Amino acid sequence: MTVMKTREQATVNGTPTHYKARHCLLCRSGKLGLALPLAHSAIGNDYLPTAQPQQEFAQSLHLCKDCGNVQIEDVVNPDILFRSYTYSTTSSLGLVKHFQTYAGEVATAAGAELGSLVIDIGSNDGSLLKAFQSIGYRVLGVDPAVEIARRATAEGVETVPDYFTRKLAERIKQSHGPAAVVTANNVFAHSDKLPEMADGIRELLRPDGIFTFEVSYLLDIVQKMLFDTVYHEHLCYHSVRSLDLFFRRHGLELIDAQRIPTKAGSLRGTVQQAGGPRPVAPGIARLIEWEGITELHAPETWREYTRRIETARDRFVTVIDRARAARKRVVGYGASPTVTTLINQFGLAGRIDYLVDDNPVKQNTFSPGHHIPVYPSESLYQRGADVIAILAWNYAAPIMTRHQAFAAAGGKFIIPLPMLQVV
- Return the domain boundaries, the chain: 3-76, 89-296, 300-422
Q: Does residue 83 carry a pLDDT above 80? A: no
Q: Which distant-in-sequence residues (6+ apart) come within 8 Å of 209 by Cβ?
A: 110, 112, 178, 179, 180, 181, 182, 272, 273
Single out the residue of 406, 397, 349, 352 nearest to residue 377, CA to CA: 406
pLDDT band at 94 (very low <50, low <70, confident <90, very high): low
Which of 4-18, 144-158, 212-226, 277-291 has the weakest average pLDDT? 4-18
> What is the 3-class SS of 2-56, one letter each residue?
CEEECCCEEEECCEEEEEECCCCCCCCCCCEEEEECCCCECCCCCCECCCCCCCC
Q: Work out whether the CA dihedral 33, 35, 38, 44 comes out positive or negative.
A: negative
pLDDT, tens only, 184-211: 987 888 889 999 999 999 999 999 999 9
Which CB contacts under 8 angstroms, 24+ apart, belong to 372-380? 372/332, 372/343, 374/47, 374/335, 377/333, 377/402, 377/403, 379/354, 380/331, 380/356, 380/406, 380/411
Q: Summarize the confidence of residues 108-137 as an average pLDDT.
A: 94
Q: Summarize the confidence of residues 307-320 as an average pLDDT.
A: 98
Q: For residue 81, what pLDDT is reported?
A: 85
pLDDT band at 4 (very low <50, low <70, confident <90, very high): very low
Percent of the chain having pLDDT more than 70? 94
Question: 9 versus 363: which is more confidently predicted?
Answer: 363
Question: 4 versus 76: which is more confidently predicted?
Answer: 76
Half-sphere CA count of 231, side-chain side, radius 13 A? 24
Q: Summarize the confidence of residues 325-348 as an average pLDDT.
A: 98
Rounded to whole angstroms, the Cα distance separating 84 from 150 reads: 12
Rounded to whole angstroms, the Cα distance separating 54 from 41 reads: 9
Q: For residue 95, what pLDDT is reported?
A: 67
Q: Does residue 91 carry a pLDDT above 80? A: no
Contact assessment for residue 187 and residue 215, using Cβ atoms and an 8 Å cutoff: no
Q: In what order do the strands lie in the sheet with 74-76?
A: 3-5, 9-12, 15-20, 74-76
Domains 89-296 and 300-422 agree in fold: yes
Distances, alpha carbon 258 to alpha carbons 25, 164, 214, in Å? 23, 25, 9
Q: Does residue 6 carry a pLDDT above 60? A: no
CATH architecture of 89-296: 3-Layer(aba) Sandwich (3.40)
Percent of the chain having pLDDT more than 90? 86
Q: Does residue 398 carry a pLDDT above 70? A: yes
Q: For residue 10, what pLDDT is reported?
A: 65
Rounded to whole angstroms, the Cα distance separating 302 from 223 reads: 11
Q: Summarize the confidence of residues 53-69 as an average pLDDT.
A: 97
CATH dotted code for 300-422? 3.40.50.720
Q: Summarize the confidence of residues 79-97 as an average pLDDT.
A: 65
Q: Which residue type does 81 have? A: L
Mean pLDDT (the chain) is 93
Q: Does residue 3 carry a pLDDT above 50? A: no
Q: Work out whether the CA dihedral 19, 192, 195, 287 comes out positive or negative.
A: negative
